[in-house]
Amino acid sequence: MRAPTVVADDSLPNRVTIYEVGPRDGLQNEAAIVPLETKADFVRRLLATGLPVVEVTSFVHPKWVPQLADAEDLWDLVAPLASEHATPMPVLVPNERGLDRALAKGVQHIAIFGSATETFAQRNLNRSLDEQFTMFEPVVKRAREAGMNVRAYVSMCFGDPWEGEVSIDQVVTVGRRLFDLGASQLSLGDTIGVGTPGHVTALLQAFEDAGLPSESLAVHFHDTYGQALSNASAALKAGITTFDASAGGLGGCPYADSATGNLATEDLVWMLQGLGIETGVDLPQLVATSSWMATHLGRPSPSRVVAALSEA
């Protein structure tokens, strides 16, 4: 079979937005540096599949993420595609220096990346949990004044490798504060992939109770324990309509060794197609793109759908 049998569920959204993170989150933890032209071609191919958002890179210091040291050069190569495809192409901005770089390149969509836990804030941002808000406040303010769209990620929402369980109340407090800086959307990250469907449902309900409804939220799942697609299904039932995913299931986190691949975009699209939910994504073309990238990385894609359709 090249497509799933469609059995629609009228209780679910009829369309979702897939926020593709493969070029940034997918590649950032690769040990071997991916050539600039390969990265640019990856972005081009992803845009051609009809993905509605493609996060391109991060304007982070090369010392911290060497894979993304070519951020400006990559942006120069792919920036014209944003208007050609009418597709937002965000970049991650860690601080005001990163924002300066984004402004210099005429970037229109940025994302900031906060933490729900003290330890990860220290390791990833070199700031305390409270200090991260002081760091991000001028970034968001200046970006908004420049007419940029700002997304806020909050990591370690379902567990932390150093601190263990993370309370739902703590996640909601941090997430609400990040969003209230002026973000248009808050993406809730299961950075180490320990979340389960019941946990997802409870967290989303807690955000709803705190005045942040599903339309303001996105979810970002990792598949460390094989729960990413189940968690996406739970989020869908809770009304979430924006899902982060990475082509071919690429990804990890350079500051959390236990974080393995992201939810594979192809696996998510297959599930959504089976539910009759529109994504605008050409699945065969996306599978071909992930298979192409897998040859450049020298290993098979971890996506089950990529493996199945590549052999079909």
Is the model's pLDDT at 241 over the cut of 60? Answer: yes
Residue 302: per-residue pLDDT: 92
Catalytic residue status for 253: yes
pLDDT, residue 86, reads: 82
DSSP codes joined into one string, 169-228? HHHHHHHHHHHHTT-SEEEEEETTS---HHHHHHHHHHHHHTT--GGGEEEEEB-TTS-H
Compute the distance between CA of residue 276 and CA of residue 237 in angstroms, rounded to an integer.
Answer: 14
Q: What percent of the chain has pLDDT over 90?
A: 91
Query: What confidence tier does 124 reach under pLDDT thresholds 50, 70, 90?
Result: confident
pLDDT at 258 over 50: no
The β-bridge relationship of strands 109-115 and 149-155 is: parallel
Determine the average pLDDT of the residues in 88-99.
97
pLDDT in tens, 287-307: 999 999 999 999 999 999 999
**pLDDT beyond 70 at 310:** yes
Strand order in the sheet with 57-58: 53-54, 17-20, 242-245, 217-221, 185-190, 149-155, 109-115, 91-92, 57-58
Bridge partners (DSSP) of residue 149 are: 109
- What is the structure's pLDDT at 312? 66
pLDDT at 232: 98
- Which segment of 37-46, 80-89, 93-102, 219-228 scores lowest on mean pLDDT? 80-89
Q: Tell me the C-alpha distance between 264 and 206, whole Å.
A: 27
pLDDT band per the 50, 70, 90 thresholds, residue 209: very high
CB 222 within 8 A of CB 228: yes
pLDDT reading at 5 higher than 80? yes
Percent of the chain with pLDDT strictly greater than 70:
97
* pLDDT computed for residue 83 by the predictor: 79
The H or E element spanning position 58 is: strand 57-58
- Per-residue model confidence as pLDDT tens digits over 127-178: 999 999 999 999 999 999 999 999 999 999 999 999 999 999 999 999 999 9
Q: Which residues are CB-neighbours of 12 under 8 A, at least 6 positions away? A: 236, 237, 275, 277
189: which strand partners?
A: 220
Q: Which of 140, 150, 172, 253 is catalytic?
A: 253
Domains defined along the chain, listed by start = 17-311 (3.20.20.70)
pLDDT band for position 82 (cuts 50, 70, 90): confident
